[in-house]
């Protein structure tokens, strides 16, 4: 299981985001990423952590990040965060999930003539699938409800947009989200 971290600050949040995300390194060891939003847009970075540590991979590029809100993730499988541009606006999303019916939902999307861009030998990127389900609705909030109606299994997520960070905990409580 991976871990996610989000922060909003009155000043630059990058240091808090960096250390807060790194704290979850013991939960997953495949991919790590973080994204911040600022006046220019969303800046993200994703690195493979299989042979190195989160801090080592991100330390040299921290100066390229700035913003007052951000999200980060340590992931077992998916390259994330991913950035989506849709009728809901531009947003970044990270998830910690175990979607039991991912193949069924993937086929549903393909039957609707949707495309996937975050493909890997492991299969469908669950985070991209979740983002796709969110974008089927007319608001982020309704989109999150759509995810929980369709997903069998568990999924907690953070969504970063220009209006702030949305946090949604797995509806069955298997993966937690703490706010402070």
- What percentage of the chain carries pLDDT values higher than 90? 64
Q: What average pLDDT is seen over the chain? A: 90
Asked if residue 28 has pLDDT above 80, the reply is no
- Whether residue 165 contacts residue 151, with contact meaning beta carbons closer than 8 Å, is answered with no
The span from the CA of 118 to the CA of 114, in Å, is 13
Query: Model pTM greater than 0.95?
Result: no
- Whether residue 54 contacts residue 39, with contact meaning beta carbons closer than 8 Å, is answered with no
What is the chain's alpha carbon radius of gyration, rounded to the nearest angstrom? 15
Using 50, 70 and 90 to split pLDDT, how confident is the model at 65?
very high
pLDDT at 141: 95
- Write the CATH number of the domain with boundaries 3-168: 3.60.20.10
Tokens of 7: 């922060």
């Amino acid at each position: 299981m991976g871990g996610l971290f989000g922060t909003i600050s009155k000043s630059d949040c990058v240091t808090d985001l960096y250390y807060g995300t790194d704290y979850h390194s013991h939960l997953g060891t495949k991919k790590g990423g973080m994204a911040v939003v600022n006046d220019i847009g969303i800046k993200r970075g994703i690195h493979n952590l299989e042979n190195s540590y989160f801090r080592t991979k991100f330390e040299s590029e921290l100066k390229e990040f700035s913003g007052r809100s951000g999200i980060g993730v340590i992931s077992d499988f998916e390259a994330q965060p991913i950035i989506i541009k849709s009728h809901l606006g531009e947003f970044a999303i990270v998830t910690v999930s175990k979607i039991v019916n991912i193949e069924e939902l993937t086929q549903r999307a393909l039957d609707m003539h949707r495309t996937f861009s975050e493909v890997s030998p492991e299969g469908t990127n669950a985070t991209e699938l979740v983002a796709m389900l969110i974008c089927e609705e007319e608001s982020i909030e309704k989109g999150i409800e759509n995810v929980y109606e369709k997903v069998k299994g568990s999924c907690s997520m953070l969504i970063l947009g220009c209006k702030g960070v949305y946090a949604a905990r797995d509806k069955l409580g298997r993966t937690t989200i703490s706010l402070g």
